[in-house]
Structure 1
């Protein structure tokens, strides 16, 4: 793809984000799109958000667990950038009116106290550089029609980043078994799923090391203070007005999030049925 087309596609994603609409998958419109093209489109999308006043506060790893891979038909990890407007605090009620077609996933977040510059980063390096870990929810949100994505589509769309909420309970990763720690996910008080850290590339720390090395090869460091979302340990969960989700990590604690309002897709569907 030439640079002009990459810029136009990044701009289209930003406009879809602002206008709360979806786009035909880029892989349908441009079958020749490569993964490298997709990451360049992502860079333009993020550039537009930064121009609008946001700042980068971390990174996310996507498509790490088998349930998410099977749902999306995407079988390799990807990454996106977290910005300042994506953050919710635990206890906030998340407004679905601001999202398009969100789904929730439960995972572990790493907050760094030191820079990490790959390649050559190991899981132990990640643990040493981490200030603390917290349970969290990422609310992924696609700007692509009906989540009909291939790896290039979700990468271009900033790894389908939506918003996220960090739990208040902090844990020392040196004192937790991140591989074996169980996670229980509940929706409206009912058990939805159980999992362990091993569901994420053998350990969430492995996933973070993978991303540190992948970005390091591109000249992009992890910086002290950044939030790194390590990838979903749960299935993707549909959410609606009035729902509450809680994930509990053994030896660490819980994170809960509640939702209100109607998503852009829900509003459009109701308008069509009226």
Structure 2
């Protein structure tokens, strides 16, 4: 498959266009076998610069593929990072605008709100946790730009880890007050519990995921800034979001976060 005409800039432009027009496309790797992780992250960063130039503000970082099961599914042995902006925030109580998204799915997450700057390399889980101001429960609403949710790890990274929207819960807890590895979550769809997990499903421990994010960003000369939100990755499998269907994530100590889809 020829690389003629392909570049990180073209990939960023193509995926942003797919997002804005709510149009799914084929996997980039299926069309260009030259797509590697370095190019994918370059495309991701170019897309972020375009978002900022059009008025969006960076609000944090999100991790993807943090569970061993998901890593095995896509054939990798480590997570990936991506960006959050204020355009991705869904206020508590507002319905999920499904018409703005291609094929929305929801997954419960443990989220950190940073108290101070966290910069790698060499960040440990303990160092990472010490930089956190508080912890909240969250639901991330992911939305791949690829047809049928079929993509490679490189495709996903270029697509900002299937970013869509995210909502954080109202209960904020200091990290030292929690056993994050044992913090449990029940995922409920229309009143029925469909899945459950603990924080240990997230890269072994959410703080390990946070440390990974800081160290990975450091390879590109970047850091996690104070006030940013870090979504540490899906605790369970993601579930489809449909009109009128309520989804709730019930956490042991972080309360309940709910979303409902609307056309």
TM-score bucket of the superposed structures, by smaller chain:
over 0.9
* Other-structure match for 1:272: none
**Following superposition, which runs of at least 4 residues in structure 1 exceed 3 angstroms of deviation?**
1-4, 66-76
Separation (CA, whole Å) in 2 of partners of 1:165 and 1:229: 10
Which residue number corresponds to residue 173 of structure 1? 175
What residue in structure 2 maps to residue 84 of structure 1? 86
Question: Cα 1:116–1:216, aligned 2, differ >3 Å: closer, same or farther?
Answer: same
The answer for the alignment partner of 2:97 in structure 1 is 95
Q: In structure 1, what is the equivalent of residue 113 of structure 2?
A: 111
Deviations 1:129-178 (A, max 9, x none): 11111110001111112111001100000111111000111111101000
- 1:124 pairs with one of 123, 126, 146: 126
Q: Secondary structure at the match of 1:231?
A: coil
Inter-partner Cα distance in structure 2 for 1:7 and 1:64 = 27
Deviations 1:191-241 (A, max 9, x none): 111111111111111101111111122210110000000011011101100
Give the conservation status (yes or no) of the 8 Å contact 2:27–2:155. yes
Q: Is the 8 Å Cα contact of residues 14 and 49 (structure 1) preserved in structure 2? A: no
Q: 1:47-91: CA deviations, max 9, x gaps?
A: 222222111110000011244445656553111100110001221
Cα shift at 1:17: 1.1
Q: Which stretches in structure 2 are left out of the alignment for 5+ residues? A: none
C-alpha contact 1:59 1:227 (8 A) present in aligned 2: yes
Distance, in Å, in 2 between the alignment partners of 1:8 and 1:51 is: 17
Q: What SS does the corresponding residue of 1:256 show, helix, strand or coil? A: strand
For the 8 Å contact 1:88–1:163, the answer to whether it is kept is yes
- Given the two structures, how large is their TM-score scaled by the length of structure 2? 0.94
2: CA distance between counterparts of 1:75 and 1:145?
Answer: 24
CA contact (8 A) 2:103 2:240 kept: no
Aligned mates of 1:107, 1:73 — CA distance in 2: 22
Give the distance between the partners of 2:33 and 2:60, measured in 1 at CA: 31
> CA RMSD for the aligned pairs?
1.7
Q: How many pairs does the alignment contain?
A: 261
